[in-house]
Amino acid sequence: MRKKYRRKTFENVEVIDAGAKGKSVGKAPDGRVIFLTNAVPGDVVDVMTTKKRKAYFEGVATNFHILSDKRTDPVCEHFGVCGGCKWQHMGYEHQLHFKQKEVENNLKRIGNLELPEINPILGSKEQYFYRNKMEFSFSDSRWLTQEEIDSETEIADRNALGFHIPGMWDKILDIKKCYLQRDPSNAIRSEVKNFATKNGLSFFNPRKQEGLLRTLMIRTSSTGEIMVLIQFFEDDKEPRELLLTHLKEKFPEITALLYVINSKGNDTIYDQEVICFAGRDHIFEEMEGLQFKINAKSFYQTNSEQAYELYKVTREFAGLSGNELVYDLYTGTGTIAQFISKKAKKVIGVESVPEAIEDAKSNALHNDITNVDFYVGDMKNVFNDAFIAEHGQPDVIVTDPPRDGMHKQVVEQLLQVAPPKIIYVSCNSATQARDLALMKEKYKVTKVQPVDMFPQTHHVENVVLLEKRV
């Protein structure tokens, strides 16, 4: 039988840094690190530990002796309970400082790399209401506050439409107002909940696997278009059409009103049929005159304005003259490939998701771009000698892998192909540093540009230019 952890209390702990996953860092009297969920660097706090590991503790600040000058007042009433926006209590200029520091530390400590002077991080002009996609979950047994639990009042309305409590797959926090997506996102979510409750439409119960309403997705674009998708667990036509017709009439500005009937064990829609109830089955995003068609299953960077900044950095690092053959690995829906195509002779995009490549081809056709080709396949299998022989030796390779970074075989193939330049775009500078360490004998890091895509969170993107050593 596992021994129950006995919690410790430490007094007057100075919070000295911001660490991984949005946690702050303090030091215990014995020198061990304490990762804290609710403090800001500069705070002096009493700590109650919640977990003990060999090299560190995890804990929460229970009493604040000194409040950091880096603090600011959170704007959202759900801060500290909702799992998002964990840095909302820290001034934005300090968020940027710690993001820049994380990139630098990872490249130096994990990659052990020689680095040029790192460019100052590109902050986001919009620090709230910057996301173009939000997903909310329905629940018939919402998360209760401690005050509600302690009160003896019977709580009649247990319906929720909001976010999962961190680490609790079946607990949903009912959201009053979210500061991540611009209007009419909050109005649509609020209207869906109120109308469904008023008309007796059942909210989902994940434990019992029953209920009509499962999830709500809202996508907005910089062109002003709006997509709303409601996922129903049960196939019940009358209440479904009642709700969708109401939304159509209440929000005529909705461009694409869609639904899915999904009675499987999880709520992913990638293997489900998306049905268009009203309008189109897609919306358009635009960047430098290029239009990108986005359907319910499409991947697109969730901060449109900062995606533009990220792609401009990528294009600048590539330094294209119009004569280059460029490979774009992990191309997704081909946004980077198309964005840089007017400066290149030819761009070859490779991606493992067939639907994404279909979107990429469709967008290229729509944008009248003729110097891009897209191919489907697992990167470590497709990106091989035969592929290079067929399509040509690249002058530049752009790689934008998922959070886990590149497979080791892909790194080995990159080293074998050995183009003069590689631009590595990453949403995880730790795995990026790991991959760069495998390439440092052949390539030198000549430029580094962090980009903040997600204000109020610890996440940071990073773009690195690698140039072949002579």
Alpha-carbon distance 206 to 209, whole Å?
Answer: 5
Average predicted confidence (pLDDT) for the chain: 94
Q: What are the tens digits of pLDDT across the range 7-25?
A: 889 999 999 999 778 899 9
pLDDT at 167: 77
The yes-or-no answer on residue 76 being catalytic is no
Predicted confidence (pLDDT) per residue in 187-233, tens digit? 999 999 999 999 999 999 988 999 999 999 999 999 999 999 999 99
pLDDT for the residue 155 = 74
pLDDT of 380: 87
Q: CA 87 to CA 8: how far, in whole Å?
A: 26
What pLDDT is stored for residue 63 in this prediction?
95
**Cα–Cα nearest to 423, from 339, 356, 358:** 339
The reported pLDDT for the residue numbered 4 is 64
CB 446 within 8 A of CB 467: yes
Residue 1 has pLDDT above 70, yes or no: no
Looking at the DSSP bridge assignments, the partners of residue 15 are 26
Q: Indicate the SS3 state at residue 437.
A: helix
Other CB atoms within 10 Å distance of the CB of residue 91: 15
Q: What is the mean pLDDT of residues 134-147?
A: 87
Residues 390-446 pLDDT 10s? 999 999 999 999 999 999 999 999 999 999 999 999 999 999 999 999 999 999 999
In this structure, what token pair is assigned to residue 83? 């799992």
* Residues in a beta bridge with 373: 348
**CB under 8 Å to 399, separation ≥6 — which residues?**
329, 330, 406, 410, 414, 422, 423, 424, 425
Query: What pLDDT, on the 0 to 100 scale, is given for residue 141?
Result: 87
Predicted local confidence at residue 3, as pLDDT:
59
240 three-state secondary structure: helix
Supply the pLDDT for residue 82.
Answer: 87
Per-residue DSSP letter, 121: P
Report the distance separating Cα 39 and Cα 415, nearest Å. Answer: 43
Instruction: Flag the least confident range among 134-148, 259-273, 355-369.
Output: 134-148
pLDDT digits (tens, 9 = 90+) for 225-258: 999 999 999 999 999 999 999 999 999 999 999 9
Choose, from 76, 82, 85, 427, the residue flagged as catalytic. 427
- Model confidence pLDDT, tens digit, residues 80-106: 888 789 999 999 999 999 999 999 999
pLDDT (tens digit per residue) in 61-81: 999 999 999 999 999 999 988
